[in-house]
Every structure is written in C-alpha cells, then in structure tokens.
Amino acid sequence: MALTDLDKFFLEVDNLSERFIGRLQEAVAIPSVSAEKTEEKRAEVKRMAQFLQAQLEKLNASVTLHDLGSEDVVANTIPLPPVVTAQYPKNHDSHKKTILVYGHYDVQPAVGWSHGGDAFTLTPSEDKTKYYGRGSTDDKGPVCGWLNAIEAYQKAGVELPVNLILCFEGMEEQDSDGFSGFLASSGKELFKDVDAACIADNYWLTDKTPCLTYGLRGTEYFNITITGAGKQLHSGMYGGNVHEPMTDLVILLSKLVDSKGSILIPGIPDLVEKETASEEEIYNKIHYKMEDFYTDIQSKTAAIYDKPSDTLKHRMRFPSLTIHGIYGADASRDMTTSVPPTVMGKFSIRTVPNLSHDDVKRLVTEYVNDEFRKLQSRTTCQVENVGSAPWWRTNSSDPNFAAAIKATVQVYKQKPDLTREGGSIGITVNLQDALAGKSILLLPMGTSTDGAHSGEEKINKENYIQGTKLFGAYFHHFATQSA
C-alpha cells in the first residue's frame, strides 16, 4: 500500500527526532529570561529572537522582527524584545487556508533550579525519556515543535497543506508587556487573511490523556496595604497602645475567603454564570480520577472535593480566591517582638464568565473598605488592583477543533478531553480581538507532570516528538475541513 502524505511526514519526524532534540537543546541554552531587567540580560532575550529568525530563514520562511520600543526600569531604560513573525511559505497560496501559530520564547528565571547541573543545559534523564531544562515545556518545546513540523514536511517531500503565519513574543512571562499594543496597532492588518489560530502554551490535564482547551480563567490581582506608626516599634513598649497594621490586615484577609474556598465578597458569586443541567455530563466525560488529583498535589487530605467532576468544575468553571502572602512582616523562624509600621497582603481572584474586570475591582474595593471601617482602627487602608487578565472561552464545535480532534486521534489513538484551563493566558483575548473573533484553539504538547516554572521543568521525549506529529497532522486535517 502506498504511503500517504501524512505517513511520509510521520516517518520523517521519527527520522529527524535527534535533530529536533538538538534544536531544543540550542533553544534552551539561550537564557532568555524576560524578568531579569538589565541590558545584558535583555540582550539574551533578543538573542533568542535572532535564533528563531535564523532557524526560520533556514526553513525558507519570510521573517520580520518587530521593534516594541523600550521599558523604564528604575533609572534606566532597556529595550523590549522584538516580536518575531514569519510567513511560510514566503508567498502564500491563495487556494490554501491560513493558520496563525502563537508562542513565546522568553522563560522564567532559573532561581530554585533543583534538577542538578545548569537550568540552561538540556539534560536527559538516565533512560532518555525526559529532557530537563528551563523552557523545555514552557514554551520552547512547543515553539520548536512548529519549526520541526515545517522541516519534516520539507524533508518528506510533501507540500505543507496550509499557509502559516508564526508569531512569537518575548515578554509573555512578564504579562506580555508591549505585545498587546503591537496586536492592537498591527495585528488586524498582519493577520487579516488568517482563518484560525492555534496556541500551544498549556498542558494535558494528566500525563495520560491528551486534551484540547476551549476556555481559560482570568485573574484579578490585588494588594491591601495597611499603614500605622511612622517607624518599627517594640511590642513590649507599645503593644496595646497602638493600632497594629498586621492585626488589621490579618482580620481583613480572613474576610475574603473561607477554608473551603468559598469567596465571601458579596456580589461576586452572584455574577458567576449559572451551571446548566448538561454541564455535569461534560465534566463526567473527562478522563480524570481523584487519584490523579492526589498525585498532582501530593496529598489526599488537602482536597476539598471527593468527586472528580466537582474538582474539575472548581478548577475550570468556578472562580477562586487565593491569599498569596504578606510583605513587610517578619518571615523568619526567630522570636521577634517588633510591630511593623506597614504591611501589604497579596491576593488574587481567578475569574470566569461573567465576572468582568470592572465589576470585580469595584466589588473588592468596596467590600474591603467597608470591612476596614468596621474595625474602627486608626491605621490607613489602601486597596489596589495591580494586575488583570480576562477570562476566555470559545466554541469547541467549530472546524478548528474538529481538525485538532482528528489529528489527536490519529497520533495518540485516543479522543482528547475537551477542557477549560484554571490558569490564565491573558493574551488570548487580545489575539481574539485582532482576529475579529475567528477561532482560537489551545493545543498542548506537554503534560501536567512537566513542572513548568519549577526547579525540575522537563518535557517527555514522546510528547515532544509525538507533539510535532500532532502539529503536522493538525495542519493536514484543518486543510480538509469544511468551513
């Protein structure tokens, strides 16, 4: 039986697997940490953009580096890393559909790296089934996967069945600073011919079953700052004589959420989209067991819910409030007796339909200020909304998802779970706006065990190589989908 074009592509991916690992090794070796804001460190982020430019040009793509200007850091100004866009082939075929692929080439700092050696050296496990390194799964593995797919089509002698526009940014780990403005000013023109878009910057729900993602929770981040005396005081001399900022802050934080995760801020629960009778079936169909959750969190007793469907719903479709920490207080184990003059509490709310930024900001600010007044304290209280990313949800029944489902079944021999993600990728909504509402799909390469942002970040070799096949199969099936 003659080989199909996809068969040839799959064989070529296997033949080139070591070369593709080498590409990822080169990418990981560039410490493109966007959070390290010095000219020297920022130059490394730009070097990663130039690496992608060189790789794409070798594949005969037309590449542009878009200057985003600069950012002010203390008393210095440093350049923002460029957005890399590429068109493949150089001259698009007007008879083919066009897919926009988004990824990011910056990574988290290597602070706390615990998997031996250097975080920026791609290191195989003893059996070479896993590859450890900063960015290996977030997001350099998937970014390289798109390039791998183009190369495998070329080496197989098979014409890519779609036109591609690739768009890679270098500030995603820093709230995509500069990128949303780039999309607002240039996105609609650059992406005017795009039929659908794909992001590979999330993960399977477990390490067993692939998934496609059609929704993301948003986030609203707040600080509460309480200020009292003008200097640090001795609790023996002043305790009982002054209003203490830490006492007021702890009381306020206790008013935000209860021990079972229920948000106590009036009005927020009422705005959440009501659950429908058919939703239970959606969550029951997802391949997920409580044992998966216990393994994830490394505890059986910390789980609030006993049913997988309840656990999934509170990860994907209900909001949550998390208290992250207190700044300004003594964090040591030592016995200290000081009264801090100013403390700041940090918390965030993961938002879902239909919690808007304006509503959440207003409800939180009004509630915290009301509760503070009830304390009758003479300290001062300031509530600030210091970060925001909107929630996102799309139609999982369109041709874009249908193509990805077919590709997943072909590569992994199983139907993917359809999931919403608990985390946030704020730029998704900006892309949606730039594409005038055209379909966006989240198609993950890595698994829940990859440890993105952790001291042991890795990607499984199988996911990296099979993920490259998945991307190529997705191109094929999207090309043959009816509108």
Which residues make Cβ contacts (< 8 Å) with residue 385, sequence separation at least 6? 220, 221, 222, 361, 364, 365
User: Quick check: bond before 93 cis, omega within 30?
Assistant: no
* Structure confidence at residue 424 (pLDDT): 87
The amino acid at 422: G
Question: 342 has which bridge partners?
Answer: 227
Dig out the tokens for 266 from the structure: 């009036």
Q: What DSSP string describes 90-108?
A: SS--TTS-EEEEEEE--B-
Which residues make Cβ contacts (< 8 Å) with residue 84, sequence separation at least 6? 49, 52, 53, 56, 63, 64, 65, 66, 105, 166, 167, 168, 169, 170
* Structure confidence at residue 425 (pLDDT): 87
Rounded Cα distance, 417 and 269, in Å: 27
pTM of the predicted model as reported, rounded to 2 decimal places: 0.91
Cα–Cα–Cα angle for 313, 317, 320, rounded to 5 degrees: 90
**Which among 166, 137, 186 is positioned nearest to 55, based on CA atoms?**
166
* Structure confidence at residue 426 (pLDDT): 83
Tens-level pLDDT at each residue, the chain (483 residues): 789 999 999 999 999 999 999 999 999 999 999 999 999 999 999 999 999 999 999 999 999 999 999 999 887 899 999 999 999 999 999 999 999 999 999 999 999 999 978 999 999 999 999 999 999 999 999 999 999 999 999 999 999 999 999 999 999 999 899 999 999 999 999 999 999 999 999 999 999 999 999 999 999 999 999 999 999 999 999 999 999 999 999 999 999 999 999 999 999 999 999 998 888 888 999 999 999 999 989 999 999 999 999 999 999 999 999 999 999 999 899 999 999 999 999 999 999 999 999 999 999 999 999 999 999 999 999 999 999 999 999 999 999 999 999 999 999 999 999 999 998 888 899 999 999 989 999 999 999 999 999 999 999 999 999 999 999 999 999 999 854
Angle between helices 245-254 and 357-375 (to 10 degrees): 130
Contact present, 248 and 381 (Cβ < 8 Å): yes
* Structure confidence at residue 482 (pLDDT): 58
Catalytic residues: 106, 172
Dig out the tokens for 406 from the structure: 């077919």
Q: How many helices (H) and strands (E) does the chain have?
A: 16, 20
Contact present, 360 and 220 (Cβ < 8 Å): yes
